């Protein structure tokens, strides 16, 4: 392949406008020069073929930039209407759809789904819409990439869900789950009496998000960024075949554009209005933005809350709503600060995530925020034998069950044939270093009796069974 096939075509769109005076906490005069430098540096370091960024203030985009190619093989430039696969950021839009349907049909969010959908497993029928939207249904997660493409497969899958899909009691603990997302999609299509993809297509049209879709056969009719594998100095490689699985589309298979995501963010931060038109219910926005579950996060986010479809936490003195994703050759950053009516969206078509410096610089550029906490290496803390023994046991959340054991006086973490030592780094916090990935933090949670109940890793809970 010719070298020029990988050349990046750079397209610039810089939109500047005055920030409304009523937007509190934001700067009156904004120079985006330094932010642009940081964004381009982040882009270059991650090796993504293409990327797009938009910053929203009030009810408009005040800055955007498009850079590079939607496909490293063709060099077709990224545009504001290029579709990207947005991964688990999809959950945010699925939650908005179900919360809206429940409001429109006057269905209480704490009503068991079995009241509306007959024939479900008895335990599943008692799960509520609230538990699905808050990721507190107590249901295990399943790994997937490819699978059946027929819409009917979702119904067949849900009808086979049995008691062993529950790793803990519903409503007990927050834990993200692909199966919970699939159930959310199923409830949507049962309430609307049509396939999930069709329901979402109609919702997107009402929102003015005319390119967004959960359907691959529609996405391919628009300009579409391809996902890329990026490693070392090698040229980006298009990931083939393209992902699809009708059962789990709601979890991470939404396609959207910079323009469409910006439109939704503007509506979300302006009582559901865009260009003077009401496209979202203010009460749905308020409900989605209300913390409903505590998150014992790890790594970057140590503590926070969960609303319907996204994390809620304090960052540099402001309250942030976030749903980020890195998955199958794409990365998405969607962060909103509703109190200041500020949002940043970053899309890229590579498996390398990040753009953290860009996000940080955007916060500093538009708002007055507290200084950033400087990263410090984790210090290994002493762990005595009595405390270590509290953590020994089996932790379940199929299919990724975990064992913690004592080996020669050292706590070790075992999963799918891998054994690595555990280092204490805080109060009931540990760190492990897998051989093929970056360090992972673990958080242990004890009950009222002082015994360990759960272990948290990457926003998933694992129940200690013995």
Q: What is the three-state SS of 316-357?
A: CCEEEEECCEEECCEEEEEEEEHHHCEEEEEEECCCCCCCHH
Range of lowest pLDDT (211-225, 288-302, 416-430): 288-302
Q: Please report, for the chain, the start and end positions of each structural domain, with discontinuous segments joined by +.
A: 1-375, 385-464
d(CA 43, CA 35): 12
Please tell me the CATH code under which domain 385-464 is placed.
2.40.128.50
Q: What is the pLDDT of residue 416?
A: 85
Tokens of residue 40, six digits: 């381009």
**Topology at the third CATH level for domain 1-375:** Beta-lactamase (3.40.710)
Helices 196-207 and 258-268 cross at an angle (nearest 10°) of 70
> Closest Cα to residue 31, out of 20, 19, 40?
19
User: What are the backbone dihedrals phi and psi of residue 351, each rounded to the nearest 5 degrees, phi first?
Assistant: -80, -5
Q: What is the CA radius of gyration of the chain?
A: 22
Q: What is the pLDDT of residue 28?
A: 58
Cβ neighbours of residue 435 under 8 Å, at least 6 residues apart? 418, 420
Q: What is the pLDDT of residue 27?
A: 58
| Residue 331 near residue 348 (C-beta atoms within 8 A) | yes
Strand partners, 325: 332
d(CA 361, CA 344): 11
**What mean pLDDT do residues 74-83 have?**
98
d(CA 100, CA 277): 17
pTM: 0.90
| Residue 284 near residue 271 (C-beta atoms within 8 A) | no
For residue range 412-457, what is the model confidence (pLDDT) as tens digits? 999 988 999 999 999 999 999 988 778 889 999 999 898 999 999 8
| Residue 106 near residue 143 (C-beta atoms within 8 A) | no
Q: What is the pLDDT of residue 82?
A: 98
Q: What is the pLDDT of residue 373?
A: 80
Dihedral sign, CA of 390, 391, 396, 401? negative
In this prediction, what percent of the chain has a pLDDT beyond 90? Answer: 80
pLDDT at 17 over 60: no
Looking at every residue in the chain, the average pLDDT score rounds to: 90
For residue range 130-170, what is the model confidence (pLDDT) as tens digits? 999 999 999 999 888 789 999 999 999 999 999 999 999 99
CA distances from 34 to 38, 40, 41 (A): 6, 10, 11
d(CA 214, CA 223): 15
């Amino acid at each position: 392949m010719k070298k020029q096939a990988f050349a990046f075509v750079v397209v610039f769109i810089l939109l500047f406008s005055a920030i409304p005076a009523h937007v509190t906490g934001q700067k009156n005069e904004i120079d985006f020069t330094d932010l642009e430098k940081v964004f381009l540096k982040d882009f270059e370091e991650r090796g993504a073929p293409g990327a797009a960024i938009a910053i929203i203030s009030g009810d408009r985009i005040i800055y955007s930039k498009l850079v590079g190619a939607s496909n490293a093989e063709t060099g077709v430039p990224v545009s504001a209407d290029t579709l990207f696969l947005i991964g688990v950021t999809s959950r945010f839009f699925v939650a908005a759809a179900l919360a809206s349907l429940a409001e429109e049909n006057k269905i209480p969010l704490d009503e068991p789904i079995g009241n509306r959908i007959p024939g479900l497993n008895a335990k599943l029928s008692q799960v509520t819409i609230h538990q699905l939207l808050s990721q507190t249904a107590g249901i295990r997660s399943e790994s997937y990439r490819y699978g059946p493409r027929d819409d009917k497969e979702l119904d067949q899958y849900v009808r086979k869900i049995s008691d062993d899909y529950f790793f803990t009691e519903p409503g007990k603990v927050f834990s993200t789950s692909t199966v919970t997302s699939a159930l959310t999609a199923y409830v949507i299509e049962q309430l609307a009496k049509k396939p999930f993809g069709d329901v979402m297509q109609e919702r997107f049209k009402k929102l003015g998000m005319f390119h967004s879709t959960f359907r691959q056969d529609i996405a391919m009719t628009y300009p579409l960024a391809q996902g890329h594998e990026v490693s070392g100095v090698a040229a980006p490689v298009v990931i083939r075949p393209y992902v699809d699985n009708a059962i789990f589309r709601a979890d991470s298979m939404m396609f959207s554009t910079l323009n469409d995501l910006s439109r939704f963010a503007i509506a979300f931060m302006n009582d559901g209005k865009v260009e003077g038109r009401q496209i979202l219910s203010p009460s749905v926005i308020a409900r989605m933005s209300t913390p409903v579950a505590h998150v014992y996060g790890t790594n970057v986010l140590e503590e926070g809350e969960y609303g319907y479809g996204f994390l809620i936490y304090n960052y540099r003195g402001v309250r942030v709503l976030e749903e980020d994703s890195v998955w199958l050759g794409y990365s998405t950053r969607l962060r909103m600060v509703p109190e200041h009516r500020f949002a940043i969206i970053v899309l890229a078509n590579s498996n390398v995530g990040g753009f953290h410096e860009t996000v940080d610089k955007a916060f500093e550029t538009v708002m007055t925020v507290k200084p950033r906490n400087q990263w410090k290496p984790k210090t290994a803390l002493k762990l005595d034998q009595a405390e270590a023994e509290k953590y020994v046991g089996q932790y379940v959340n199929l299919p990724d069950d975990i064992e913690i054991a004592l080996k020669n006086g050292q706590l070790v973490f075992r999963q799918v044939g891998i054994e690595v030592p555990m280092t204490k780094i805080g109060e009931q916090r540990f760190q492990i270093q897998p051989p093929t990935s970056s360090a992972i933090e673990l958080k242990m949670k004890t009950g009222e009796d002082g015994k360990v109940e759960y272990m948290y890793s990457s926003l998933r809970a694992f129940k200690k069974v013995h």
